[in-house]
């Protein structure tokens, strides 16, 4: 059994030269830290963090990594950048997930809308409140597979949905 956390980047500023370089705004920084602590309070484990390299996504992942480093239970003590997660379509999320190392039992993917919402929908029957997936929203999925390469075909089960506005 594997676990996948699907996380949309936190709220970002619109004051940037390019979409790729948009930083988190103050609210986004606060919510990223709060959501990371929420996962820790719920005893959720994460072995690896995989993120779009866009500034707002990698910054969100950094808040989560820092919180989990303090917990001291990481398999990989860094963020893996996956350039293909920037402006990703549905198939890309499946491809990135299927390439994960099988030593990873729980992974967190950080990316952007609309692709991240579509991926969360595809992996779960839980669609109520994720319309679209809010900034810094987290969807947890259990995957009935021993290997990530089997992710696409493996049965998936909704575990939880956390949102800064609901928690």
CATH of the domain at 108: 3.40.50.1240
- Would you mind telling me the total number of residues written for the chain in this entry? 167
3-state DSSP assignment of residue 98? helix
pLDDT at residue 129 above 60? Answer: no
CB 117 within 8 A of CB 130: yes
pLDDT at residue 104 above 70? Answer: yes
Predicted local distance difference test score (pLDDT) of residue 117: 93
Residue 94 covered by a domain: yes
The CA distance from 61 to 111, in Å, is: 9
Give the pLDDT band (50/70/90) at residue 76.
confident
Predicted local distance difference test score (pLDDT) of residue 35: 97
Q: What is the mean pLDDT of residues 22-28?
A: 96
Q: Which of 109, 108, 116, 106 is nearest to 142 (CA)?
A: 106
Structural domain including 68 reads: 2-162
pLDDT per residue as tens digits for the range 41-65: 999 999 999 999 999 999 999 999 9
Gyration radius (Cα) of the chain, Å: 14
DSSP-assigned beta bridge partners for residue 81: 51
> Token pair for residue 90?
């549905």
pLDDT at residue 105 above 90? Answer: yes
When mean pLDDT is compared across 40-49, 60-69, 92-101, 123-132, the lowest value belongs to: 123-132
Residue 139 covered by a domain: yes
The CA distance from 12 to 23, in Å, is: 6
The CA distance from 155 to 46, in Å, is: 20
pLDDT at residue 75 above 90? Answer: no
CB 12 within 8 A of CB 56: yes
Dihedral of CA 120/38/12/166: which sign?
Answer: positive
Residue 24 covered by a domain: yes
Residue 66 covered by a domain: yes
pLDDT at residue 128 above 90? Answer: no
pTM of the predicted model, to two decimals?
0.94
Structural domains counted in the chain: 1
Residue 153 covered by a domain: yes
Q: Which of 54, 64, 56 is nearest to 85 (CA)?
A: 54
Diameter of the chain by CA atoms?
A: 44
Residue 167 covered by a domain: no
The CA distance from 152 to 33, in Å, is: 31
């Amino acid at each position: 059994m594997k676990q996948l956390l699907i996380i949309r980047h936190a709220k970002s500023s619109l004051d940037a030269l390019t979409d790729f370089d948009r930083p988190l705004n103050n609210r986004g920084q606060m919510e990223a830290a709060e959501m990371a602590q929420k996962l820790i309070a719920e005893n959720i484990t994460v072995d690896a963090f995989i993120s779009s390299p866009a500034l707002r996504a990698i910054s969100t992942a950094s808040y989560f990594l820092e919180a989990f480093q303090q917990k001291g239970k990481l398999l990989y003590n860094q963020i893996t950048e996956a350039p293909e997660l920037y402006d990703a379509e549905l198939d890309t999320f499946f491809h990135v997930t299927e390439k994960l190392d099988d030593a990873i039992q729980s992974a967190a993917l950080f990316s952007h809308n609309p692709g991240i919402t579509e991926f969360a929908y595809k992996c779960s029957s839980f669609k109520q409140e994720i319309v679209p997936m809010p900034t810094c929203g987290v969807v947890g999925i259990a995957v009935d597979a021993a290997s990530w390469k089997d992710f696409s075909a493996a049965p998936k089960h909704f575990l939880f949905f956390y949102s800064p506005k609901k928690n």
